[in-house]
Amino acid sequence: MKNLKWIKPLLIIVIVGTVLVVGGKQLNLQEHINNALVWIKELGPTGMGVFALLYIVACVFFIPGSLLTLGAGTIYGVVTGSILVSISSVLGATTAFLVGRYFARGFISKKIEGNARFSAIDNAVAAEGWKIVGLTRLSPVFSFNLLNYAYGLTRVSLKEYVLASWIGMLPGTVMYVYIGSLAGDLASLGAETAQAPSGARWIINIVAFLATVLVTVYVTKIAKKALGARITDGGE
Query: What is the tens place of the pLDDT at every residue in 83-94?
Result: 999 999 999 999
Under 8 Å between Cβ of 139 and 212: yes
pTM above 0.85, yes or no: no
Q: What is the mean pLDDT of residues 222-229?
A: 57
More confident residue, 228 or 206: 206
Q: What is the mean pLDDT of residues 188-194?
A: 54
Query: Percentage helix, strand, coil, to 5, in the chain?
Result: 85, 0, 15
pLDDT value at residue 231:
47
Rounded distance, CA 86 to CA 79, Å? 11
The distance from CA 48 to its chain's CA centroid, rounded to whole angstroms, is: 21
Q: Widest CA span of the chain, in angstroms?
A: 64
pLDDT value at residue 150:
79
What's the N-to-C CA distance of the chain in angstroms? Answer: 15
Q: What is the mean pLDDT of residues 76-99?
A: 95
What's the mean pLDDT when you consider all of the chain?
A: 74
pLDDT value at residue 56:
94
pLDDT value at residue 101:
86
Report residue 49's pLDDT band, with 50, 70 and 90 as the boundaries: very high
Rounded distance, CA 51 to CA 69, Å? 10
Q: Give the 3-state secondary structure of residue 46.
A: helix
Under 8 Å between Cβ of 59 and 97: no
pLDDT value at residue 66:
87
Q: What is the mean pLDDT of residues 66-82?
A: 93
Query: What is the tens place of the pLDDT at every residue in 135-190?
Result: 778 776 667 888 888 788 788 889 999 999 998 898 889 888 988 888 767 776 65
Instruction: Give the list of residues 6+ apart from residue 122 with CB closer than 8 angstroms, or none.
Output: 154, 155
pLDDT value at residue 2:
43
